[in-house]
Each structure stands twice: as C-alpha cells, then as structure tokens.
Chains A and B, each alone.
Chain A
Amino acid sequence: MTHVSMTVNGRAVSADVEPRMLLVQFLREKLLLTGTHVGCDTSQCGACVVQVDGAAVKSCTLLAVQADGCAVLTIEGLAPSGALHPMQEAFREHHGLQCGFCTPGMIMTAMDMVARLGPDLDEATIRENLDGNLCRCTGYHNIVKAVAAGARAMAPASAAAE
C-alpha cells in the first residue's frame, strides 16, 4: 500500500491505496464521487476526464499514486451543491445531454478548452478538441452548441453583455 494525499474539489483527502489503483477508481470507490464515469476503460472515450493541476486528463489512464500531491477537479467540484456551473447550464439549455453518460467528461473537456483557448470557440475548434470524447448517442450537434454557449457564458461580464 502507498499513502497518497491530494486535494479533490478543494478538499484535502488522503488514503492508503494499492499502487495499481487508477485515479478514477480512487475517485469513485474511495471518495464515492461517482460523477466521473468509466466508459471504455481504454483511454478512448473520455467519460472519465477530470482536471489534474488544471489540465484535463483521462482518469482511467492515471494511477492514483501519480496524482499524489496534486489538485484534482471533478464534475462535482464545478459548482456548489444545488447550483449549476455556466457550462453545465449550457448543456441543460441546449439539450447537450441525451443519455447523459458522456456528459461529465464532455463538460470537463469543455472547461479545459475554455482555459486553453478562451471563451470564443468556433464549431471547428470545438469539434477538434472533443476528439477524445465519444458520445454513443451520437448527439454531437447539441454538445457542440452547448460548449460554444457555455464558453461564452464563462467570459468576463463585460464581454458577455455585448
């Protein structure tokens, strides 16, 4: 067993884990944060995307011990309980969810996109950057619309008011 400590959604957590435990298992099974999903378990589908030290990663392809000392952000950490983050609200408003399974990964990838590329995202950029996220309902059209709207809603107030 190896001792790991990290912050998850701003909360300090620590535990003894087997080195082979994946970060997504740690989040779901140890911390009971089941918003992060396991889809393919082969780094393809992106349902498990979370942020580690501000960068989007596939938490099925990272060991919990590799995240020791890091700050992890999951879908549960985006907004206070009972409220929706603007990106979550955009997915609701634009019907970006169908079955909803891929949604947490889509939203965490969208957050990464805004952090890297800013709030003004065109369709081609969004589609290119959703490369690592699969929706098996194949509802990409509304997901792309939701990401664009959510990104705009995340712009500083002066820009959003235009």
Chain B
Amino acid sequence: MKTTGKVVGIISNIVTVQIDGPVGQNEICYVQLGDTRMMAEVIKVTGDKAFVQVYDSTRGLHVGDNVEFEGHMLEATLGPGILSRNYDGLQNDLAEMESLFIERGSKTDPLDYNSTWDFTPLAKVGDRVQAADWLGEVTEKWIKHKIMVPFVFQGEYTVKSIAEAGNYKITDTMAVLTDSEGNDHNVTMIQRWPVKQAITQYRSKPRPFRILETGVRVIDTFNPMAEGGTGFIPGPFGAGKTVLQHAIAKQAEADIIIMIACGERANEVVEIFTEFPELDDPRTGHKLMERTTIICNTSNMPVAAREASVYTGMTIGEYYRAMGLKVLILADSTSRWAQALREMSNRLEELPGQDAFPMDLSAIIANFYARSGQVYLNNGQTGSVTFIGTVSPAGGNLKEPVTESTKKVARCFYALAQGRADSKRYPAVDPLDSYSKYLEYPEIVQYLDQRIEKGWVDRVRLGKTLVQRGKEASEQINILGDDGVPVEYHDRFWKSELIDFVILQQDAFDKVDANCPIDRQKYMYDLVLDVCRQEFTHEDFEACVAFYKRLINIFKQMNYAEFGSDKFKQYRQEIDTAIQEQKSHETL
C-alpha cells in the first residue's frame, strides 16, 4: 500500500502534506491537481506533516488535494540510448515533448523502449559476479555500452543464464543471476539509481595520474586539468565562463561529455543544440553531439528541478564511468544550484547561514565534487569522471559562500578576471590567481615528463615566474612612469606580454586558434620561452615596445595559421628575422 496524503499548506512551490503512513526523506510523491500529476520530493517531515518541494508551478493547487507517495527516491533511468539526448533536470526527454510550451506534469520516457540493440555477451554461465560487473555489451553510437549487474545488487551472484548474441529491446531479460540464497533475479538493459547517492561499485579510487587535454593553452600548458579531477571557473558576468566551458566541451579528449545547463540561459542551451550536431569530433570523426548528453534546467524552469539536475548529470556520468570510459561533466552554473538550495531553505524557514544560504552548503558542495574521480573498476580497467563547474559570484566578489566552499574542494581554479575581460584578453583566466594543484602531484609531473618532455613542469613554472616578474615591472612602470624606470623593466614587462598574447590568449571564435593540440602548445611555448630567455638591449623604452609589438603581431598570425603550413613556417621565419634585426641593431 502506498502512503497517501492531503495538501494542507502551500507557499510557492513548498507544499505541506498531511500523511496517513510512513514516508522517507527525499521520497518522491505526486501531487494531484485535476488531471495533472506533479512530481515532488519530500524535504522535511514533522510529525504527520511532510514538506514536499514540487517540481512544477503550484498555481491553482487547493488545500485538500490528493498526494501519493512512491516509496523511492528520485531515480535516474540508466541504459543504452542516453547519449545525444536532451533531458530536463528530472530526465524527461525534451525532444519528445510535443507542445511548444512545457505543460505542467509533462513526462516523457528517458529511453526508447522500442528500439533494439545488438547485444554481445561478455559473461559466461557460472561466472561469479557482483554489482557493476560487465555481463555484456551493445554498441551505442561508437561506444561499447556495457550491460552491467545492477548497482543496487548486494553481495555475490552466479550467472545462471545469459542471452545469446543478437538484437534485443532494453526491457528484455539479458541474464538471470542467482544470489547466495538461491533466489533468481532477472537483469535487463535498464537499471535505476537514486541520483543523490554516489555510485561506489568500483575497486578503488586512486589519485589522478593523467592529464585531460582540452586544447585550451591556458589550461593545458599553464594549469592542466587531470583526468578524474575537479575544477571550477568563477567569474563575474561577461568574463567568458560559458564560452570557455563550451570550448572545453568541444575539444576535451573525453569519451562522453555531459553538459548540465543549470539555471542558465535557454539561448546558450540552444547554441549547443544547434552547433554540436554540426561539429565534428576530431578524434573519432563523428559528430560532437553523439558523445554528448545535455541536462537542461534553464533559469525559468522550476527551481526544485534545478537542484535535481546536477545530481541527474552526475549519476549518468558515474554510470558511464563504470563502463571504463572517460567522462567529462560540465555544469553551468553551480551557483544557480546553490541558489535553488537557498530558496528552498528560505521557504522552510530554516535559520540561514552566510548570505542566507543554508548552513550545510559547503558540505553539500564538497560531497558533490567528491563523486568525481578516476577509478579502478572491479576488472582492473580505469574509468573517470572529470567535473568542471562554473561559479557566478554575486557582484564578482570571490569572497562569497559558493566560491569559498567550492575553492575548498576543487583542485583546479580558473579565475576569470574582469580586467582581462574588459581589455578583451580572452580567455580571461588570470595567470597568477589561477592554479592547478595537479602540477604538485608527483604522478602528474611524471606523466607530463613522458607525455610532453622531461622537466616540463619546471618549464611551466618558469613561464609563470616570467609573468609574475612582468606584472611587478608593470606596477613599477605605472608608479614611476615610462622614463622613470630602467629600460630592462620594459623588457621584462613586454616578455610577460608576449606570453600573455601568444600563450594565454586564444581566439575561441577562430577555426584554427580555437583548438590547440598539445604538440602545438609545446612548440609555441618553447618558441616563446626561447625569446624570453634571450637578452635584448633597447635604445629606449619606445624601441623596446615597438620590437615586442612586432613580435607579438607575427606570433599572433602564427596562431591563426594551420600548424606546419607554409604560412606558419613563413611567420616562423619572420620571427627569426625580427630577432636578428634587433640583435644586429644592438651591435651597431
């Protein structure tokens, strides 16, 4: 018997329900409004009253309306066919909805129950298996989608039977497993998992030891992201958070991308809908959309579902990780998620913490980020979930609760600076404030030694030092005036400008410059460092400025040219010429 209840109070989307039986925290229920069934989640219980947050507008709801409890928490439906779909925060497929407007109580299937998949068994009768072990696989797009022992299965099972190779629907029984007590369980291609719980059915979670290449120079060269790592991008509005995230989504060398549009603009999601099906994934030759799943709760969609959207996205990510894949999850923006928590907490009349956010905000954020990571699966293979969230700090002030809580847990920090955005230095990642803790990991240093070049991390640090020295020089110049400092100060400043213009800045809208593979990054970085290591003597500061401006212009043209093309080589030549001219000038 399901527990039922009646509405006794309504404030905005928080509804108080008088209950006639047991309910659990976070249990899902349906609030009946005429013919419409609106999904809701229990967020507090006091005596015989349950407080539920409704994932829809409560307009027209009456005291006395019926509520039915489902006996389970909010779950994601996992199975083949998730890729390239566009879900809302509750995993309804937006593409399947017919009307222009999202009507209340709209529900569509997350998976296609009619299509068939070509199944190949991997397990044999008699195998001993446990949760998340691979029983077989189907081909989803170009990915080997593993059919696994459901994550909710506890203990060891014996494979009693397994389907032969062939075409099956996702609801067909693919295997029968016998538990230790001798009971049989049917396994289909679908399983369900409560989104707010982490999927931990793996052997171990080591420290990240590889780099996730993104084609963005300021990330890969200066502050690399680890595979299975965490990072966040805070920045005031207009600083280019979304453009940077999209660039990462397009270029990162991950098998699966999950984009969570959390409380952001609908037109930004439309941009992904429109562009990704057109763009090629350079690594596979397929379209980008084929490896992408979008979870979309734009800012005007119900607030409660916004909170759910990040969890739905993370759960899908963990599901694909269990297949031994590299998953990258991008969430824009985690601040909107925190604000959804705040609205809820406020309506429950909880005592507020800083800036009216709930007291446990930082614990919630920490728990969420902790779900990412690289793991060794039961069979010894690796899989990873890399998570990058954006944060939209109120007033661009980084000393606010969401930024501070995130900073405690995320290992990479890509600070977007208003000043850089104002002067159109994109991506506006501040070279000195930003960091990647992974550069301190011996595993990563060793990996980079092999992947790029021995001693690479030291060279990265050298570059950072040069930028730092340039900044100090520029402060001196600003205080003392152009003529008040030795010309070397200008030289030092302009060397840092060279690094800034050539390495740190990147044109996300230029076909060539947008994506810079790691070998090209190394080539350009070496070239720039090489110039920076040379000593030049300039007649006066104006000559110094003119020389570096000339260099920067050639370097920029080089960034716009195809790597290794004739044009590219020609500009390379021009750099040598410029330097030779400078040198010969000096000896005169």
Q: Do A and B come from one complex?
A: no
